[in-house]
């Protein structure tokens, strides 16, 4: 579960991490009221779960009321990488002289959380990792013993952070680790941490992702779940109980089991297509569940074609086939071409049940993916 920046900053502030003064606004009038109170310069920041908001026009710095009004009108309602902006964070500007990156995530290769610090803050940390891996200092933490204070200081100094602010940065990093552990987070970061001319250290951004499987023991965070959904599709996925991630491509993907769906995503990319989503309907899926999955994918305007990949174990092929037929029969006209591949339990029965007038059927996953990619390419032409 991804938290919005304003939600994460509220948690950071409660934990003692310095953050700029800010207010959430959902209209131009609320933006103007906020900047009048906060003062200028003020940042107007789109609250959407995408990176690169600034480059995409989703973050503007207003120096007077006229600019604030113009930027609010531009950002509210804008389409930002496929998401509609319905609220902004109005935040006091920070007069900074340096930017850092600090974060905590899970290093699955090592099986331990890892602290990360870089003096190349304010840019995409993935780009830094790819182009200048030595620019990121790392320190692993044994979860059995927790974070020792010296480890936070060590990784900050190894990153080359200026000595006069190093302890303050280490303090923020230690607090982030405590939040990571106490909140069952999967990732938590600040990019950038801004250093002001007066050598104050301020968290100018906030990313906090929570392990959804742990929400049962995080009641306060669980209450934020509905607000954290970015659009109707994510909200639908939550209601239906699907594991769903929206991507930027045009080939919709439905499967049962995370590994099977990931394999399908990889094959779509391999054959020259672009995945539109990750959608796992899980094991034991009945007809109604399959109908809901198709409804979700059809609702995505970016999707031009769909590939349905089911391997029958708990999930029976004939049940899936009934669900596909029932879903498609609700439409006077099928909105997107659907390619189906069934294998495993009752797959042959399922193939016989499938309405060939409504779907295209392929025996192998490779053939199904190639046909779906070709269908999407035809729509683009």
Is residue 101 part of the annotated active site? The answer reads yes
Asked if the structure places residue 297 within a domain, the reply is: yes
The verdict on whether residue 314 carries a ligand-binding annotation is yes
Output the average pLDDT for the chain: 91
Same domain, yes or no: 251 and 162:
no
The answer to whether 116 touches 105, Cβ cutoff 8 Å, is yes
Asked if the structure places residue 343 within a domain, the reply is: yes
The verdict on whether residue 107 carries a ligand-binding annotation is no
- The whole-angstrom separation of Cα 162 and Cα 119 is 9
Same domain, yes or no: 257 and 202:
no
**Domain boundary pick from 66, 92, 118:** 92
φ, ψ dihedrals at 353, nearest 5°: -75, -35
Same domain, yes or no: 244 and 343:
yes
Same domain, yes or no: 259 and 376:
yes
Mean pLDDT of 230-250: 82
Same domain, yes or no: 282 and 354:
yes
pLDDT tens-digit series, residues 24-64? 999 999 999 999 999 999 999 999 888 788 888 999 999 99
pLDDT at 4: 93
Same domain, yes or no: 41 and 132:
no
Give me 19's structure tokens. Answer: 């953050």
Identify the residue with better confidence: 230 or 137: 137
Q: Which of 189, 234, 319, 362 is catalytic?
A: 189
pLDDT tens-digit series, residues 310-345? 888 777 888 888 888 888 888 888 889 999 999 988
Same domain, yes or no: 352 and 280:
yes
The verdict on whether residue 99 carries a ligand-binding annotation is yes
**Domain boundary pick from 174, 192, 223:** 223
The verdict on whether residue 94 carries a ligand-binding annotation is yes
Task: Name the band, by pLDDT with cuts 50, 70 and 90, for residue 103.
Answer: very high
Same domain, yes or no: 116 and 44:
no
Number of domains comprising the chain: 3
Show the domain range for 348: 232-380
Mean pLDDT of 181-210: 96
Same domain, yes or no: 102 and 76:
no
Q: For the chain, what's the residue count?
A: 381
Same domain, yes or no: 167 and 291:
no
pLDDT tens-digit series, residues 147-162? 999 999 999 999 999 9
Same domain, yes or no: 82 and 127:
no
pLDDT at 24: 97
Strand, helix or coil for residue 308: strand
Asked if the structure places residue 10 within a domain, the reply is: no
The verdict on whether residue 91 carries a ligand-binding annotation is yes
226 pLDDT above the threshold of 80: no
CATH number at residue 45: 3.30.1490.20
Task: Name the band, by pLDDT with cuts 50, 70 and 90, for residue 251.
Answer: very high
- The DSSP secondary-structure symbol of 64 reads S
Same domain, yes or no: 88 and 100:
no
Q: Which of 6, 71, 83, 101 is catalytic?
A: 101
**Domain boundary pick from 223, 249, 278:** 223
Asked if the structure places residue 13 within a domain, the reply is: no
Bridge partners of residue 307, in order along the sequence: 253, 339
φ, ψ dihedrals at 50, nearest 5°: -135, 155
Is residue 26 part of the annotated active site? The answer reads no
* Span between the terminal Cα atoms of the chain, in Å: 36
Identify the residue with better confidence: 116 or 295: 116
The verdict on whether residue 236 carries a ligand-binding annotation is no
φ, ψ dihedrals at 103, nearest 5°: -165, 165
The answer to whether 261 touches 279, Cβ cutoff 8 Å, is yes
**Which helix (H) or strand (E) element contains residue 70?**
helix 65-75
Strand, helix or coil for residue 295: helix
């Amino acid at each position: 579960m991804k938290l919005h920046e304003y939600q994460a900053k509220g948690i950071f502030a409660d934990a003692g991490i310095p953050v700029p003064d800010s207010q959430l606004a959902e209209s131009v009038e609320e933006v103007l009221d906020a900047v009048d109170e906060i003062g200028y310069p003020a940042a107007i920041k789109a609250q959407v779960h995408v990176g690169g908001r600034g480059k995409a026009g989703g973050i503007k710095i207003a120096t007077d009321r006229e600019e604030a009004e113009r930027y609010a009108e531009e950002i509210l309602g804008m389409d930002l990488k496929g998401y509609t902006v319905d609220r902004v964070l109005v935040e006091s500007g920070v007069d900074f002289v340096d930017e850092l990156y600090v974060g905590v995530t899970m290093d699955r290769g090592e099986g331990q959380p890892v602290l990360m610090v870089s003096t190349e803050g304010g840019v995409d940390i993935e780009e830094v990792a790819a182009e200048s891996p030595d620019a990121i200092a790392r320190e692993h933490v044994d979860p059995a013993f927790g974070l020792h204070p010296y480890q936070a200081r060590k990784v900050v100094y190894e990153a080359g952070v200026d000595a006069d602010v190093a302890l303050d940065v280490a303090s923020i990093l230690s607090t982030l680790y405590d939040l990571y552990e106490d909140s069952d987070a999967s990732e938590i970061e600040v990019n950038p941490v801004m250093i002001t001319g007066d050598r104050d250290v301020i968290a100018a951004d906030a990313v906090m992702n929570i392990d959804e499987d742990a929400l049962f023991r995080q009641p306060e965070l669980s209450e934020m779940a509905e607000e954290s959904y970015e659009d109707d599709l994510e909200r639908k996925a939550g209601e239906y109980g699907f594991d769903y991630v929206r991507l930027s491509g045009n080939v919709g993907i439905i499967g049962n089991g995370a590994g099977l769906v990931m394999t399908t995503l990889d094959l779509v990319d391999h054959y020259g297509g672009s995945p539109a989503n990750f959608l796992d309907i899980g094991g034991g899926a009945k007809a109604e569940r399959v109908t809901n999955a198709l409804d979700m994918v059809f609702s995505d305007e970016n999707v031009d074609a769909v590939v349905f990949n089911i391997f029958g174990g708990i999930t029976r092929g004939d049940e899936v086939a009934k669900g596909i037929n029932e879903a498609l029969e609700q439409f006077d006209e099928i909105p997107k071409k659907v390619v189906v591949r069934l294998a495993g339990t009752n797959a042959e029965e399922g193939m016989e049940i499938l309405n060939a007038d409504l779907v295209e059927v392929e025996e192998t996953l490779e053939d199904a993916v190639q046909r779906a990619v070709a269908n999407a390419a035809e729509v683009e032409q």
